[in-house]
Amino acid sequence: MFKIRFLILFFVSVLFLFVYFSKPSSITKFVYNLEDIKFYIKSVLGADHKPFDDLVVVAIDEKSINRFGRWPWDRKVTADLINRLKEAKVVGLDIVFSEKSNPESDRALFDSIGKNGNVISGFFFRDYATQTVTEEVIDFLEDCSLPRYRVLSESVGIPEFSYIESNIPQILENSLSCAFFNIKPDVDGIYRHYPTVYLFEGMIFPSLALQLVRFYLDREIYLEIDQLGVKKLNIGDITLSENYIRLNFYKDIKTVSAVDILEGGIDPSFFKDRIVIVGITEMGVYDIRPTPVDPLMPGVFLHYVAVSNLLKGDFLRESAIYDITFTVVLLLSVFTVGYIKKLKYRMPLYASVLFIPFLVPSLLFIYKNVWIVTVYPFIFSFLYIIALEIYQFFRVDLQTRELKRAFSKYLSPDVVEQIVKDPESLGLGGEEKEITVLFADIRDFTVITEKLSPHQVAKLLNIYFDSMTKIILENKGLLDKYIGDAIMAVFNAPLTVPDHSDKACKTALDMVKRLDQVNRNLEKQNLPHLKIGIGINTGRAIIGNLGSSLRFEYTAIGDTVNLASRLEGLNRIYGTDIIVSQFTVSKVKSDFLFRKLDRVRVKGKEEAVEIYQLMEKSERNKNIKILYEKALEHYFNTEFSTAQEIFKKLWVEYEDYPSKILLERSEYYIKNPPEEGWEGIYEFKEK
């Protein structure tokens, strides 16, 4: 019972982690929309926090547009506005002047920016080219990039852009510094995150908010980056560890209309030692950004929120560790509640557990500025509850599942599923299809059993069969039957396995490898070691439920099966472990190491077949294969003396037993040449 519950927990946890980290677009949009409700809850509770005091937006709003005309204004007006902000500690422009205007107006703007000495000009990156960036502009931009950063990996995970919409050189030249102001929305088009740094032309540029904070505090930015992006970013006491910060929005934004400043309604001393961000809020200019708290928020307000969040330290701290830990704790809570036997006691506790994802993250958000996702813990806890209750319901059907488990010991899982879904499939009859058949037999089993008691023989076979059968089933094979000490397995039945020949060959190699482990187990039981031979053949056969109405079994019959059995027996002759027919080799797609062994005619078949040894990949075996197949070619061409020399070398240097067999044959044919037209076929008279 514990095992099943734990497996369900494991599956739900894996599913959660997959969805969480893969972030399917549709699910992510759904999650974002639900999570945004927290801001509404915060507002309803009256828990709104206050922005940084010395921060203000100078808004080019509807009132200003009505007074001075549509944007862009004559740059003399903009210059006048900037002149009136000279007492501010730093001024950020959420505006770009990418083209020249009339010379007199431009000169007025250049002079105002230069004389103030406190202006951070803005620019933005693009995914496509809109202007030609000169070397002069690049040089000015370089002065705005971060000089102090440390790269901890060969590649860096910072968003990179290839194109830029920059200010004209004179603006850059007269500015205190510059920074980018474009922000990317989340997958649903809503703006929740604010970037820290972007990469352009091998240089790392800070965002407008970051640059404003830097100059307000008169502190340099220290940056460490790795393949995931920002690992560590410091400005004074402010520390970040992500490419973005999650914005913690304010109910009120401190705003001053540009027209009030220009017409003398606001004294310049109001801005003394403050951070000022100049931007457009008039809706007709279309600098509108939908956010969780306002579908029509002006873009300049995002910079305001980011600056305030950084200076107050109240940006939202989100982390995969927070989300995963919280979800796992809830799932473990459900796991514990599931052990309560009576449903009437379980249900209230389940409801309590499901309420926690709404309560705890909301409290942490409001009072600790910690952002923990609510939707995932709720959904996957609910999913786990459903799964546990379904398990409880069907647990009464234990007898049926025990029966299924018993069948699984003898048949492949695919066959069992087919039987469960369609019991009538156990009726008589069969179908003809291409299959690959594998026979495995224990060498000298009769000699081994003569020294053992019946109990020891049964114990030995159980250990051997258990290990080998698992390998067959793991490789999508059907355990057809045990025949004494032999195993017959079929691949590509009853369900289609496209690479069935490959599966059979892999099974054979795995069986030979696993035999070492089996022998160690046998040794611990004071039982003798085993050696096996395996034969594999591919072809068409009758496969299905064959027998009488009183007794039948799912099996395969035909020449394909018989040849596989004969090939298994040939291992005794050649001293090999695995012999494969030419028909199987021709179907194999994987890169196995096959050594052509011989051309033979087995008992019961008129047609000859070329046989191959399936070998473990090694340099030694590759060398043996090359030399042996070269010798075999001479042998087939009746060049027995040349073949004899190579086979002898293989036998002496490598103790290769197939070479010994072909060496003896070559020596025989040197003395007793075969008849004219001999095709290199060796006929076996016995099984």
Cis check: omega of the bond before 72, within 30 degrees of 0: yes
- Tell me, yes or no, whether 444 and 553 share the same domain: yes
Q: In this structure, is residue 390 part of a structural domain? A: no
Provide the pairing of β-strand 486-491 with 370-371: unpaired
- Dig out the tokens for 407 from the structure: 């069948």
| Partners of 537 in the β-ladder | 437
Cα–Cα distance for residue pair 362/372, rounded to 1 Å: 8
| Partners of 649 in the β-ladder | none
- Tell me, yes or no, whether 80 and 210 share the same domain: yes
Q: In this structure, is residue 132 part of a structural domain? A: yes
CATH code of the domain in which 559 resides: 3.30.70.1230
Whether 503 contacts 476, CB under 8 Å: yes
Distance of CA 60 to the CA centre of its chain: 47
- Tell me, yes or no, whether 26 and 157 share the same domain: no
Residue that has been written with the tokens 């203000």 in this structure: 56
- Tell me, yes or no, whether 611 and 659 share the same domain: no
Looking at residue 427, its pLDDT comes to 45
Q: Which residues 6+ apart lie within 8 Å of 500 measured at CB?
A: 434, 435, 436, 476, 491, 492, 538, 587
Residue 288's CB is within 10 A of a number of other CB atoms, namely 16
pLDDT less than 50: residues of the chain: 396, 399-400, 403, 406-407, 423-428
User: 108: number of CA atoms within 13 Å, CB side?
Assistant: 15
- Dig out the tokens for 51 from the structure: 């922005």
Whether 247 contacts 306, CB under 8 Å: yes
Residue 476's CB is within 10 A of a number of other CB atoms, namely 18
Task: Give CA separation, 39 vs 245, 252, 359, 534, in Å.
Answer: 17, 14, 14, 69
- Dig out the tokens for 638 from the structure: 């009746």
User: CA angle, 377 as apex, 376 and 380 as ends, to 5°?
Assistant: 75
Q: In this structure, is residue 563 part of a structural domain? A: yes
Amino acid type, 35: E
Provide the pairing of β-strand 593-601 with 609-615: antiparallel
- Tell me, yes or no, whether 35 and 173 share the same domain: no
Of the candidates 620, 535, 626, the residue with the CA atom closest to the CA atom of residue 574: 535
Q: In this structure, is residue 411 part of a structural domain? A: no
Task: Give CA separation, 455 vs 232, 274, 343, in Å.
Answer: 68, 93, 50
Looking at residue 506, its pLDDT comes to 97
Whether 201 contacts 194, CB under 8 Å: no
Domain, as residue range, for 349: 2-43+318-385
Cα–Cα distance for residue pair 431/76, rounded to 1 Å: 91
Amino acid type, 383: L
The per-residue pLDDT for range 199-225, each reduced to its tens digit, is 998 899 999 999 999 999 999 999 999
3-state helix, strand, coil in the chain (%, to 5): 50, 20, 30
Burial code (b: 16+ CB inside 10 Å, e: under 16) for 630-664 equals ebbebbbeeebeebbebbbebbeeeebebbbbbbe
Tell which of 592, 616, 640 closes a domain. 616
Q: In this structure, is residue 332 part of a structural domain? A: yes
Tell which of 292, 313, 334 closes a domain. 313
DSSP 8-state class, residue 69: -
Q: In this structure, is residue 222 part of a structural domain? A: yes
Q: In this structure, is residue 398 part of a structural domain? A: no
- Tell me, yes or no, whether 160 and 253 share the same domain: yes
- Tell me, yes or no, whether 489 and 633 share the same domain: no
Tell which of 599, 616, 633 closes a domain. 616
- Tell me, yes or no, whether 568 and 578 share the same domain: yes
Distance in angstroms between the alpha carbons of the first and the last residue of the chain: 52
Cα–Cα distance for residue pair 173/179, rounded to 1 Å: 13
Residue that has been written with the tokens 């495995």 in this structure: 440
Looking at residue 575, its pLDDT comes to 95
- Tell me, yes or no, whether 609 and 657 share the same domain: no
Q: In this structure, is residue 98 part of a structural domain? A: yes
- Dig out the tokens for 486 from the structure: 């032999």
- Tell me, yes or no, whether 110 and 254 share the same domain: yes
- Tell me, yes or no, whether 168 and 262 share the same domain: yes
Per the structure, the count of domains in the chain is 4
Whether 81 contacts 113, CB under 8 Å: no
- Tell me, yes or no, whether 212 and 333 share the same domain: no
